[in-house]
Amino acid sequence: MHGLCQRIKKVLTAAEIASLAGDLVALPSYPGIAEQETAVAAYIDRFFKREGIPSELIPVKEGRCNVLARLPGSGGGCTLLLNSHLDTVPPYDLGEPCRPRQKEGKLYGRGAVDTKGILACMISAVAALRRAGIALKGDLIFAGVIDEEGGSAGSIDLVKKGLQADGAVIGEPTGFDLCLGQRGLEWLEFCFKGADTHGGNQAGAPNAIRMAGLFIARCEQELVPVLKQRRHPLLGSASMNYGFIHGGSQPSTVAGECLLQVDRRWLPDEDYAAVLNEYEALLRSLAREEPQFKGSMRLVEAGRMEDGYLHTGSLLEPGHPLAVAVAESAAAVFGAVPPQRAFTAWSDAGILSTYGGIPSLIFGPGDLAVAHTASEYIGIEDLLPAALVYALTAASFCS
């Protein structure tokens, strides 16, 4: 691989990739923007066409487009998909979210690490293979997809339209670790009902905040210990997190309603219906014990996918040819095989592997801990190595 690596370095520089990443950061693609990701998709489409690589914008919904490019192989090899998302989370507390800034070797801005810097590495890898005249037997496909931070409509659209590949590398910030899988994800909302009553005359009035407290206590007693015992050798344990709670109106009024939102991470051998039923069973148990207890469960709308799709987990065997190709390519670039672990967040690997039947792993530069934060950044020195690993992986896997 050393010879291939040197050929690619001759046609690609860190400065070029950093410039591409900055241009992508400068294009807003967070919720609330009209045709949210399409400006980013169009930029990438123009980039590929300038490089002589077939590319197209694919409308998905509400004027929002995926971008799909293909570097055709000569035949007889495996097809590799490089997939990463075009959307970002909202600005939150970022003052100038889409002003790319370079400081002390880092590129700052919303999406820098999640995942516009990674997009720049992937599209650069595809272009570098063509520039260097490195022929592949199988096709190399790049897909920039919409809505990964929401309902994953972009990758779902790829699956529904029958995109086929023998393997997929999902670009997410893994710190160059090789992430072979992830847990499934569901967001659940629990609504507890009380009675809006003056706090000075509360005798007998059901309090929704108290009901939420009873439910949390029951989860801690009966469910959390069970989840900790459910373990997978790679993915770790099943888990739940109390992420949001809001109840009542003011101190002198009995709370008439309380909302609690929970993040539930589930393992491949857990049944989704059973996951939901565990919470329903706790609600029913509390209702039997407390006649005034009123609690219900529903999915959080912001995390809901279209009917027939879930935030499923993914898992790739360590000896799969794709895992081997990425490991060997990373070793050629860094001098050592990257650690194998689980991805601690969620990615479109779940959609592509579960519903598309495409073996998938997650790999990319950057620190997941700074994603979604006011100090989001990606290290500029990581960009060229990432592009090299993506390109070498394609050269190995596709041939």
| Tens digits of residue pLDDT in 372-381 | 999 999 999 9
Give the pTM.
0.95
**Mean pLDDT, the chain, whole residue set:** 96
Q: In the predicted model, what is the mean pLDDT of residues 248-267?
A: 96
Residue ranges of domains in the chain, CATH in brackets: 2-182+313-397 (3.40.630.10), 184-303 (3.30.70.360)
- Assign 71 a pLDDT band (cuts: 50, 70, 90): very high
What pLDDT is attached to residue 93? 82
**Do β-strands 167-170 and 360-362 pair in parallel, antiparallel, or remain unpaired?**
parallel
pLDDT in tens, 127-151: 999 999 999 999 999 999 999 999 9
What pLDDT is attached to residue 202? 78
